[in-house]
Structure 1
Amino acid sequence: MSLQNRLTLLSTAIVSILLALFCLFLYLVAEQYRKKEFLNRLRSEALTAGHLLVGQERLGPTLYKLIDKNQLTVLPEEEIIIYNAQNRLIYESGTDYLTVTPAILNRVRELKTTQWREGSREIVGIVFTGKAASFLIFASAVDLYGVRSMQDLARLLGGGWFVMIGVMLIAARYFMGRILEPISRINHRIDEITASNLSLRLPEGENADELTQLAQRFNRMLNRLEEAFRLQRSFVSHASHELRTPLTAITGQLEVSLLADDEPDELRATLRSVLDDVRGLNRMANGLLALANASMDSSAVPMATVQVDQLLEQVRREVQRLQSDYTVHLHIDPPNAAPADWQLTGSEPLLRTAFFNLLDNGGKFSADHTVSVQLSRLAKSVELRVHNAGSVIPADQLVAIFIPFQRGRNASGLPGYGIGLPLTDRIVQLHQGQIRVESSEDAGTTFIITLPR
């Protein structure tokens, strides 16, 4: 069943139930009013009979029967019965509709006034105090007009209920179709969006309702997907190019070596060149693998407590061990801080990779291969500043250096594949931190990382 039909039936069912309850409420109120009004008329008839038959100004029973029979306000099948204090019948209007038992007499004397129903007959019993004694007066009749009015009201309410349900069913289907029309347009547009046509967007409409918000969020998701596809295509294109260059060089060197009758020294030189290219490929493959791992969801990365100052010292020694001509100056501020001040929750292997990339980059781009590193404690975070006095990064490329395989113009002639900084940026994002770069002729280049403690 379609959503339109389900909503139509649901709204119609809710309205029909509420309307039925309202009709029932009206009927019960009207019935209560009819009953109360008729009992009041019976009570008035009983009091009138008491005043005229056993009151101070009495009429004879024959005259009262004549008046009662011919008055215009006489009730259908009306009957008046009067008992004296000794429970003897002293007056009966002549009909025999009602049977009064001693138990009823005692109950009326106890309650002073009471009312009940026998079949369709309404009965009222009261205690009337005459000139010298009290009497029991019973008035009963059948409310033929009131009952017929209630039956007509019930038929009117029932017929109106059925008519209104039919109108509601038609109106609900029409309005539900109008309400769900934007969803139909969204579905048609979604069917048109493919991997090769991600530029299409959903119609958002003019009203700021939930459907418009849904379309807006879906369009923002499409923007992210389109950007991800673009980056993926760019990544694959650059990776293919970077991998093809060393592979072509290795292939050419091996083919030349096989065709030529080189001396052993020349062969060893060729093998050393091939080995350097293979090591470069290995570094690139490791970088691509690390970049892929860092691009996963942060919930899938195991996190633990990391001692940042100790980790940074280990990375400093590792960089100087691998690059003996590099000089790394590490300054920790404040130097006497408690170990807990340098603790944060993160992935130690990923942070090690990020720190190594920054220090290695700083030494590579510095003319004297000197890097200055400062670790500072802030109120709720730690800040790492990696500075080198090398060539300046052009201002228009400060953002592009964090895109895979994109290298600044200042990197021309230097080894590298454009993977280290994008990998570092992704690792910092995984740790909910921030990275920014400042580069100028006077101050040199400084990478600033802020990580929450």
Structure 2
Amino acid sequence: MTIRNRLTWLFVSIVAVLLLAVLTAVFLLQFSSSQREFQQRLRERAQVTSYIYLEKDEMRASAFRDFEKKYLQLLPNEILQVYDASGRVRFVAEDERVRLNDAQLARIVLYKEAYFKIGARQAIGIFYRDNQGDYVIVAAAENVYGQHRLRSLATIMAGIFVASLLLIYIVGRIFAGRALAPIAALNDQVDRITAQDLHRRVDEPLRTSEKDDLRRLARTFNRLLGRLETSFEGQRTFVRNASHELRTPLTSSIGELQVLLARERSAEVYKEGATSVLGELQQLKQLINNLLDLAQADEAVPLTEDIRLDELLWEVREAVAPAQRGRVQVDLGDLSELPDDPAVFELKGHRVLLARALGNLVDNALKYSGVEQRVTLSLRYLAGSGLVVRVADAGQGIAEEDLAQVFQPFFRAAGVRGVVGHGVGLPLAQRIVALHGGTLVLRSEIGRGTVAEVAFNQ
């Protein structure tokens, strides 16, 4: 069901309930008023009957009938009866007689007035005390006119209810259509935007304050389109750079092999060529492994291993090539200041991925600093904050304008393009750290080195 239909039926349902409640209240009030009016007429008939009966001994029968026809308005199927103190019927105004039981008579005497029903008739009994004795006068009749009015009222109300629902439905459809028209227009604009024109934006209503919600919705769509555009552009850049990085070693290897196969060469030349091709292919393998790790870092990998970070730092150092291992110094600080509970150095994670992230930071530090310069791999526990791993070098540093881009895949600063690399290590390290709930921040100064700080909140 569309939003327009839901709004229409919701509007119709609410108004229908309210209208039904109002009509029911009106009907009940009219019913109560009709009952009170008819009871009053019965009461008047009983009072007049008591007067006529008590004065009947002074009237002829014909005079009594003339008095009744002249001054009294007969009720439909009316019966008038007078009972004496012993319960005997002393007077019946019509041929038809209704016998009251002793309980009904006793109730009338007790309460001086009582209302009850006799078949289809409504009746009232009043207790009348006269110098001739005590009497009970009963007046009964059918409320034909009142029932007819109530039936007519119910029919009219039912017609009004149905007609009102039809009118409300039509008005609700029109109102919902007009209310949702800007949203429909917004939806049409969004629907026309494809992957090829993500630079387009939807129109934002600017005129009336009533459209604040629509303006917010339009701005939300535009922000979403902006993020999609950035994401798509990032993917295009990634594919472009990845293609270039993959093609370069392949082109170099193919060229080297073509030169070797162009003519007969000595075994020494073939060996040098094969060594060169092997180096290019090893770089290609390293690039592909980095790309696979980069993709894996974006997936929901299980973080179920208990990892001791102090032990992991030594493992990272041992994984460094033997020729460079002596340049890496592990610093755990003053042991006397460390917490007694070794569990503070543990965190849940993926051991291989986390080791890869820290290893990339160490490799970058070694790669972009002098061969005689040391790289410090340190671990600190900060009470209230958590564990902090720092990889510090005294190398050439990173320019300030490049710091904001070093976490983009395949980005390489202009000053380091002569160094072997692909620009994947830092983005991969950042995503792995984020996967473990940590943050990676770089601080660097040209000529003074770089510090990579990894903080894990506990």
Distance in 1 of aligned mates of 2:244 and 2:37:
99
Distance in 2 of aligned mates of 1:52 and 1:308:
114
Give the match for residue 238 of structure 1.
241
**Correspondence for 1:370 among 368, 374, 388:** 374
**Correspondence for 2:410 among 391, 394, 405:** 405
Aligned-pair CA distance for 1:66: 4.5
Give the match for residue 423 of structure 2.
418
AA partner of residue 245 (structure 2) = E
The 8 Å contact of residues 328 and 377 in structure 2, kept in 1 or not, is answered as: no
1:337-348 correspondence to structure 2 within 5 Å: 337=339, 338-348=341-351
Summarize deviations over 1:89-131 as a string: whole Å, max 9, x none: 22233x2455124354455456654323346532112333334
Residue 305 (str. 1) matches residue 309 (str. 2): no
Aligned-pair CA distance for 1:74: 5.9
The 8 Å contact of residues 382 and 451 in structure 1, kept in 2 or not, is answered as: yes
Distance in 1 of aligned mates of 2:70 and 2:334:
116
CA separation of 1:259/1:443 partners in 2, compared to 1, >3 Å: closer, same or farther?
closer
The 8 Å contact of residues 319 and 326 in structure 1, kept in 2 or not, is answered as: no
Distance in 2 of aligned mates of 1:313 and 1:112:
108
TM-score by length of 2: 0.87
Give the match for residue 328 of structure 1.
329
AA partner of residue 435 (structure 2) = L
**Correspondence for 1:295 among 285, 298, 304:** 298
Give the match for residue 247 of structure 1.
250
Residue 388 (str. 1) matches residue 387 (str. 2): no
Instruction: Tell me the secondary structure at the aligned position of residue 332 of structure 2.
Output: strand
Give the match for residue 266 of structure 2.
263
Give the match for residue 34 of structure 1.
34
Instruction: Tell me the secondary structure at the aligned position of residue 200 of structure 1.
Output: coil
Summarize deviations over 1:57-86 as a string: whole Å, max 9, x none: 997585665544323666555443110011
The 8 Å contact of residues 330 and 372 in structure 1, kept in 2 or not, is answered as: yes
Give the match for residue 70 of structure 1.
70
Distance in 1 of aligned mates of 2:153 and 2:29:
12
Instruction: Tell me the secondary structure at the aligned position of residue 393 of structure 1.
Output: coil
Give the match for residue 439 of structure 2.
434
Runs (5+) with no aligned partner, structure 2: none
> Which of 310-319 and 184-193 deviates more?
184-193
The 8 Å contact of residues 294 and 426 in structure 1, kept in 2 or not, is answered as: yes
Instruction: Tell me the secondary structure at the aligned position of residue 354 of structure 1.
Output: helix
Residue 184 (str. 1) matches residue 184 (str. 2): yes
CA separation of 1:158/1:209 partners in 2, compared to 1, >3 Å: closer, same or farther?
farther
AA partner of residue 407 (structure 1) = R
The RMSD of aligned alpha carbons is 3.0
TM-score by length of 1: 0.88
Distance in 2 of aligned mates of 1:33 and 1:441:
97
Aligned-pair CA distance for 1:234: 0.4
Instruction: Tell me the secondary structure at the aligned position of residue 400 of structure 1.
Output: coil
Aligned-pair CA distance for 1:322: 6.5
Instruction: Tell me the secondary structure at the aligned position of residue 87 of structure 2.
Output: coil
Summarize deviations over 1:378-433 as a string: whole Å, max 9, x none: 21421222111111211111011100000123323211100000111111222232
Give the match for residue 99 of structure 1.
98
AA partner of residue 443 (structure 2) = E
Aligned-pair CA distance for 1:369: 3.9
Runs (5+) with no aligned partner, structure 1: none
Distance in 2 of aligned mates of 1:140 and 1:12:
46
AA partner of residue 414 (structure 2) = R
The 8 Å contact of residues 246 and 284 in structure 2, kept in 1 or not, is answered as: yes
Distance in 2 of aligned mates of 1:180 and 1:61:
83
